[in-house]
Amino acid sequence: MNQHRGTAEPESVGRVRTSNHRSTMSPTGPETDRGRSTSTPPTLRVAVTGVGGGTGQSIVRALQDDPRVAAVMGLDMNPYSAGFAWCDASHVVPVATSDEYVEKVATICARESVDVLIPGSDPELRPLSMARERLLDSGTDTIVSSPQVITICYDKLEMARFLASVGLPLARTEPVTEARRLADEVGYPLVIKPMCGSASRDVHIVFSEDELAPYEERPDLIAQAYLVPACWGRSRADLRPRNVQERGAIRQEDEISLQLVHDHEGSELGAFASRNRLVHGDPRRIEPGPFPAALAAARRIADELRRIGLAGPLNVQGRITDAGFVPFEMNPRFTGLTAMRTAMGFPEVSAVLRRSADGEPVDRVRAMLAHAPNEVCLRYTAEAYLRREDVEELLTTGVSRREGV
């Protein structure tokens, strides 16, 4: 599409290193890429959806230095998507909820000879999961879990019921109509959030019935017990608005993120744990760590989801409280931190491609994800540049590509 592939990073990772980090860190030397020779000619054609958002952009960035990838196709409903800046071909698609969405994606995959399709946004998970067999029949494998797994992860009430049924913990979760009863049992504050939502949108913390009242008639909301990190040294009853809010936004500190990566059969390939600080749902400080109890809890969740079709990535978020690690959300996809984890020696997207698309032995792929990061990642926002003619082409035809792709 343009000549700037790999040079623009709309949501960049703060790091001081060259782009060939994985090869220079390889135990077998700079001429190899975690066990596979970089002289292997690139053959894989990969499509990533949702490149207008942080997750899709992060997936594309994670693929930049993968020597097996010949071309990356970006899909998004917005022709002004920043992620198009470093894709080899770009396609405008309908909104994921439209009847035309799957047909359009299938057509693009066929015309572009796409080997692997990776969803980059929550709304696209279900339709692409439902269409997985159809796409596979046409030669495109989709890195996505079963519709049942997606429903359990996306609908927080379903998530609560499922985890309770298998004896696994979750922050107490109820329909917002039951929020007063929940407050009587666990106390304020409560977290009010969409039943099906992501990226901390429309999330509120309430400390009283008066603050709760405006949300009680909304059937799309749920109430969760507020999880107090043990390191804060406070009980829930001690909390005041100043403790959970910062400059008018929800204070999102000491959140533990567990990224587990699986192959197409559900076998775990690797895991990455970190303590994160977020601003408006966007992680800004990421500190990797072992967090063994949190990782063990996430693996128990993955074990149960594997029985009903878990495949590819699973992200579990929670906090370490006085009662131990308690999750409050999980997402069966890659995340906005995927490129960061890749830069720190955890190439999760490449690992899934090596296992699922190339059929590499599981032990070799697991070795790719063996890491011991000794760094802290600080994120910042940078710019992406599209040529005017490329934007005009996307606006008029819905397609733009680099020469030779």
Sorted by where each starts, the structural domains of the chain and their CATH numbers stand as 11-144+382-401 (3.40.50.20), 150-331 (3.30.470.20)
DSSP string, 251-283: -EEEEEEEEEEE-TT--EEEEEEEEEEEETTEE
Q: Is 154 left (phi over 0), alpha (psi -120 to 50) or beta?
A: alpha
Of these ranges, 9-23, 116-130, 267-281, the one predicted with the greatest mean pLDDT is 116-130
- pLDDT given for residue 200 in this prediction: 59
Name the most confidently modeled range: 36-40, 245-249, 364-368. 364-368
The lowest-confidence range among 1-15, 268-282, 365-379 is: 1-15
The whole-number pLDDT of residue 199 equals 55
pTM attached to this predicted model: 0.87
Residues 10-27 have pLDDT tens digits of 333 332 322 333 222 222
Measured CA to CA, the distance from residue 360 to residue 24 in angstroms comes to 21
Omega within 30 of 0 (cis) for the link into 189: yes
Structure tokens at 391: 């934007």
**Could you read off the pLDDT of 133-174 as tens digits, one per residue?**
999 999 999 999 999 999 999 999 999 999 999 898 899 999
pLDDT beyond 80 at 30: no
The CA distances from residue 264 to 113, 268, 309, 351, 398, in Å, are: 20, 10, 9, 11, 32
Identify the CA nearest to 66 among candidates 313, 343, 287, 259: 343
Give tens-digit pLDDT for 178-216: 999 999 999 999 999 998 866 557 889 999 999 999 999
**Tokens at 359, concatenated:** 């059929």
Residues 400, 112: Cα–Cα separation, whole Å: 12
Mean pLDDT, the chain, rounded, equals 87
What's the rounded mean pLDDT across residues 237-252?
Answer: 84
pLDDT at 296: 96
